[in-house]
Amino acid sequence: MKNRLLGCWVICGVWLSAAVATEPRNLSVLKQEIVAYVESGDYAAAINAVAKEATAFVTARAAQRAPGERLAVVLDIDETALTNLTHMRALDFGYVPAAWDSWVAEGKAPAIAPVLEFFNAARRAGVEVVFITGRRERDRPGTEKNLRAAGYGDYAMLLLKPDGTKTSTESFKTETRKKIQAGGRVIVANIGDQASDLAGGYAERTFKVPGPFYQTK
């Protein structure tokens, strides 16, 4: 028994030593890298490349629509259609619920220019735009104000998570797209910055813009 315990102590000690030795990267360094990624222009260039690809696809798909086919694209809002970078940098990339609520209510987040260009191209092609967001229903007034001010006023629907729901953002978005298609629209493209925006199907194509700032599930 003592030998077994001794063996466990040795093995556990080695494992713990290895775990402690594997120190994660410093948070301050990661933040600096994110700022450098943005300020270098690489972040904007990556978004622009995705938006151009999505525009080409949706424009071509609209030109080939079947008679009576009602086409739509789905857009996420935060870090897809609108940028909250000013707010995030002011808080050193932290999250303070009260500060976030105030920011959303103000409705001053700027449009992400290449995605706004995609939005306008989709509308010119006769494709409807539906916003599905992890924001809550209580955020509707500030969100509607912000979308209009940023140039996204000509959208078909704005769908937000119900207040108090415990459903994950991924599940909410998947089920919402399912309902949209069941209602007669064909979702030809779904664009977001998070894997949870795009998982679950109910879109002919998905397009992911970079999302280096946070992760939602």
User: What's the domain range around 101?
Assistant: 26-208
* pLDDT, one tens digit for every residue, the chain (217 residues): 434 443 444 444 545 555 556 889 999 999 999 999 999 999 999 999 999 999 999 999 999 999 999 999 999 999 999 999 999 999 999 999 999 999 999 999 999 999 999 999 999 999 999 999 999 999 999 999 999 999 999 999 999 999 999 999 999 999 999 999 999 999 999 999 999 999 999 999 999 999 999 999 9
Establish if 61 belongs to a structural domain: yes
Establish if 131 belongs to a structural domain: yes
What global pTM score does this model have? Answer: 0.89
- Residue 163 belongs to what H/E stretch? none
Domain count within the chain: 1
Establish if 14 belongs to a structural domain: no
Please state the φ and ψ torsions of residue 190, each to the nearest 5 degrees: -130, 120
Establish if 54 belongs to a structural domain: yes
Question: Is the separation of the CB atoms in 47 and 112 below 8 Å?
Answer: yes
Local structure of 70: helix, strand or coil: strand
Establish if 62 belongs to a structural domain: yes
Question: Is the separation of the CB atoms in 90 and 198 below 8 Å?
Answer: no
Q: What is the pLDDT of residue 18?
A: 53
Establish if 2 belongs to a structural domain: no
Establish if 213 belongs to a structural domain: no
Residue 31: CATH number of its domain: 3.40.50.1000
Q: Answer positive or negative: Cα dihedral of 53, 54, 59, 60.
A: positive
Sheet of 70-75: strand order equals 157-161, 128-136, 70-75, 185-192, 205-208
Q: What is the pLDDT of residue 22?
A: 85
